[in-house]
A and B are shown apart, each in its own frame.
Chain A
Amino acid sequence: MSNTNKANEAYEKNEKNEITESKKAGGADIIKAENISFTYDGGGSEEKVEALKNISFSVKEGSFTAILGRNGSGKSTLAKLLCMVLTPDGGRLTVDGVDVTSDETTEEDIYEARKNVGMVFQNPDNQIVATIVEEDVAFGPENLGIEPAVIRRRVDEALDIVGMRKYARHSASRLSGGQKQRVAIAGTIAMRRRCIIFDESTAMLDPIGRREVMDSIVRLNRDEGITVIMITHYMDEASLADRVIVMDGGEIVMDGAPSEIFVRAEELWQCGLDVPQTTELLWRMRKAGLDVPLDAFGERECAEAIEKALEKAAKI
């Protein structure tokens, strides 16, 4: 018994070393895309859909990136490429040091990259495999062939992080949408992944569920140092990221910090997107002739900015 314990400890130690090493290397690119493109061949018909056109960008380890875009902008296709469900038709895509597009890359290499880069999908019901919550969280680590005692510990930790520990023995089908989605997140955390891609993971949830899931996502990035790529069309969610990429028609049209992006209200509207309500209010006031800044986010900041501007206007 003590022998296996020792083995487990050594195992955990190795893991921690790996993590600290990767943190030290912080700032390295976990994902690097160079001119990647992808075309759906329309199920045998002549009609081909060019979903992505020459996209280039890279994602730094430990960052929090939001990808915005309307329906059909290619953002979900991009997510599928990043988690290696689809392979780009052209260009070069490197995920966790593995060149996915190279001919020399084997299934085994992609499997290795998948250990570190995972995805949480839109529909919580279609990604939960087991009936009981903790069994489902254990599914990933079990596939990796990790020892039972280590899996147990990781599952408990992962459920703690998303705040679902007390539901460990519950049936997954009786949970709410937000809770199911948190279980799905725990399932990828338990695999100790360094990068998690969220493909509109809040789209099917009610406002409470959305807030629960967003809280978990933010905590993952801030406290656990996990790289987050979040695909969404909710502006308020994107404003939590430290970088926003806006896509339209299969191309990247804007890329920058949220404060830089949201002030470009007219361009966002052209891409079929909304701006946060506060920004829209400030933009309209500005258009009406009031001198307010556009980059005041959050309700309180916005209200203060308006107050200041009104005082200034009253003085004159």
Chain B
Amino acid sequence: MNFDIAFGQYCEGNSILHRLDPRAKIISALIFIVDIFIAKSVWAFLLLTVFSLMTAAASRIKARVILKGLRPIIFIMVFTGIVNIFWFKGERLLVDFWFIHIYLEGIINALLIMLRVILLLMGTSVILTYTTTPLSLTDGLEQLLSPLSKIKVPVHEFSLMMTIALRFIPTLVEETTKIMNAQKARGADFSEGSLVKRAKALVPILVPLFASAIRRADELAVAMECRCYRGGVGKTKMNVLKASLSDAACVLVFILLGVAVVLINKFASGFRIGI
């Protein structure tokens, strides 16, 4: 089994993007999503595309890895593309057959919407998931959300849950493999038969897996108590996040990008996206 699941999509590296404070990256990614959604003009999309390619280059992540990350959304992209081609009403009619009317604007619109989905995924994964370890991601989230603890939102507990979940994914994957092998050795078959049959074959895997997960949780709780854990009160952190000038610069760049997009929307001529 592949233990890399625990690290999500994180790619080891030491680029500028890798070194930025996770908080700056979370904020930047959020701003970037807004930037993408307010873009209307073709030229704004061009700017965003160029910008995304530049950040991807700056992250020093291989193009192959990024393209591979886009694979799961191909279906959604094609689907939304086709729907948009058929439903969009423009001026220049290209195909007029029975109930099918395809306009040139419809095709451009569909392409832009597909581009929007690509940019969304590529931008956020390059800025965040490819260049930030899940651990510093949770750390950053905890710090960003920490003001919420004043209104009794259990921010610390939430982040600890995330940390422990990430920590136990590889352990449980390993355990699942072990249980599956044990069942296979007793003649269980997980790959053949009808869907119902295969689903039923999973029960003897899930039951021991849950039982052991509960036992683990119990032991972990005792171990944490022995290590003087008593909630987030009075707890310090070894690695304190320090925002530097480059972090502020990063956020600023994304805000400026948004301003540029708004200006282009307002003044540039040319095609505008429909949705």
Contact = CB atoms under 8 A, between A and B. Distances in A.
Interface of A: 83, 85, 111, 114-115, 118-119, 121, 123, 125-132, 134-135, 138-148, 151-152, 155, 171-174, 187-188, 191
A134 B235 CA distance: 17
B229 interface: yes
Given A130-B163, A131-B134, A148-B237, A143 B228 contact: yes
B227 A151 contact: no
Nearest to A172: B167
B220 A126 contact: yes
25 contacts: A83-B226, A85-B222, A111-B228, A114-B228, A119-B223, A121-B222, A126-B219, A126-B220, A128-B167, A129-B224, A130-B167, A132-B135, A134-B238, A135-B238, A140-B227, A140-B228, A141-B236, A142-B238, A143-B227, A143-B228, A143-B235, A146-B236, A148-B236, A152-B238, A171-B7
A129 B238 contact: no
A187 B227 contact: yes
A191 B170 contact: no
B6 A118 contact: no
B170 A173 contact: yes
A188 B223 CA distance: 11
Interface residues of B, number: 32
Nearest to A126: B219
Interface in B216-243: 216, 219-220, 222-230, 234-240
A92 B177 CA distance: 47
Given A171-B7, A172-B167, 13 more contacts: A126-B216, A128-B167, A129-B223, A131-B134, A142-B236, A142-B238, A143-B228, A145-B234, A148-B238, A171-B6, A171-B170, A173-B167, A187-B227
Contacts of A146: 236
Interface of B: 3, 6-7, 133-135, 163-164, 166-167, 170-171, 174, 216, 219-220, 222-230, 234-240
Contacts of A171: 6-7, 170
B235 A129 contact: no
Decide if the interface of chain B is mainly helix, strand, loop or mixed.
Answer: helix
Contacts of B133: 132
A146 B228 CA distance: 12
Given A143-B228, A187-B227, A127 B238 contact: no
A191 B236 CA distance: 13
Contact of B171 (A135, A173, A187): A173
Contacts of B174: 173
B167 A131 contact: yes
A132 B226 CA distance: 20
Contacts of B164: 129
Closest 6 CB pairs of A and B: A127-B223, A173-B170, A138-B238, A126-B219, A151-B238, A143-B228
B235 A121 contact: no
A85 B236 CA distance: 24
A87 to B, nearest CB: 13
Contact of A188 (B7, B227, B234, B240): B227
Nearest to B166: A131
Contacts of A152: 238
Contacts of A140: 227-228
Contacts of B230: 111, 143
B177 to A, nearest CB: 13
A85 B226 contact: yes
Nearest to B234: A145
Contact of A139 (B7, B171, B227): B227
A118 to B, nearest CB: 6
A235 B234 CA distance: 43
Contact of B236 (A121, A125, A129, A147): A147
A113 to B, nearest CB: 10
A118 B219 contact: no
B228 A127 contact: no
A131 B165 CA distance: 10
